[in-house]
Amino acid sequence: MTGNWTIARVLGWTTDYFTQKKLDSPRLDAELLIADALGIDRMRIYLDHHKPLRPAELADIRARVKRRGRYEPVAYITGSRGFWTIDLRVDPRVLIPRPDTERLVERAIARLKGAEAPRVVDVGCGSGAIGLAIAHDVADAAVIGIDRSPDALAVSKANGAALGLEARVEWRAGDLLAPVLDDGPFDLIASNPPYIPSGDLAGLMPDVQHEPRAALDGGADGLDLVRRLIADAPPLLKPGGALLIEIGHDQGPAVKALAEADGRYADVAIVQDYGRRDRVLEATRA
């Protein structure tokens, strides 16, 4: 980038560069990174499109563009991600929250409607996305977030503090449900566990390769942790309480069969996301 650069010129150049890199959303990525570098919102890019950029501003944009050109996710570059009704800080210690997971949050909030002071567990909480979204929207919910990664817990704790939810959200380190074995019963157990088959990891998009492998690898068929959650959740759920697990789009029939075979769930359903793909196991404790 040399010569006189306006916001509009940088936006055009960056969009073209990201297009050459075959990124999925080159224009959006360019807008987000330029806005982040300049400390403005995306609308201001177009309102000030003829504004010339100072050398320091251009350098900040260039640094972000280089990182994205190496397929680093935009959320890691900007350090934030919007999810449900909240904003979360994210970095390479945690998986980036996806819109698909909002379907699980939607179902969880619907299940908790009318419950008095519901108790919720978010297993494998990562950035805290699921638990914090529920706590934010269900005013009297008490949430316990669990993760085996101390680094992930540090991120989730920081997000909880930033959202002012420390009084109703507790964080515990440990493997799956082990940290709450003596604390049931709960109204709802939610999880977005690793569910990608180990053999598929190498073929994931370059962006995803930057995310923590432990948050992606679900074992040989992707269902190692799903099986454990289905088996371990019933004693910790109230009668009528729910287990919600995010799953891969092609895992619905296998996961439904696992929950039905368990025999301790009164109702088992696979909920589709808004792309009409299987996305969430919803199993009700008998």
H helical segments located in the chain: 7-20, 26-38, 42-47, 55-69, 74-78, 99-112, 129-137, 150-162, 224-232, 252-262
CATH fold for domain 87-285: Rossmann fold (3.40.50)
Place of tokens 């504004």: 51
Q: Which two tokens stand for residue 258?
A: 């696992």
Q: Is 55 exposed, middle or buried (0-12, 13-18, 19+ CB in 10 A)?
A: exposed
What are the structural domain ranges in the chain?
7-70, 87-285
SS3 content of the chain, % helix, strand, coil (to 5): 45, 20, 35
**Per-residue model confidence as pLDDT tens for the chain (286 residues):** 556 899 999 999 999 999 999 999 999 999 999 999 999 999 999 999 999 999 999 999 999 999 999 999 999 999 999 999 999 999 999 999 999 999 999 999 999 999 999 999 999 999 999 999 999 999 999 999 999 999 999 999 999 999 999 999 999 999 999 999 999 999 999 999 999 999 999 999 999 999 999 999 999 999 999 999 999 999 999 999 999 999 999 999 999 999 999 999 999 999 999 999 999 999 999 9
pTM, to two decimals: 0.94
Q: Quick check: 90 and 127 in contact, CB under 8 A?
A: yes
Q: Quick check: 184 and 102 in contact, CB under 8 A?
A: no
H helical segments located in 116-262: 129-137, 150-162, 224-232, 252-262
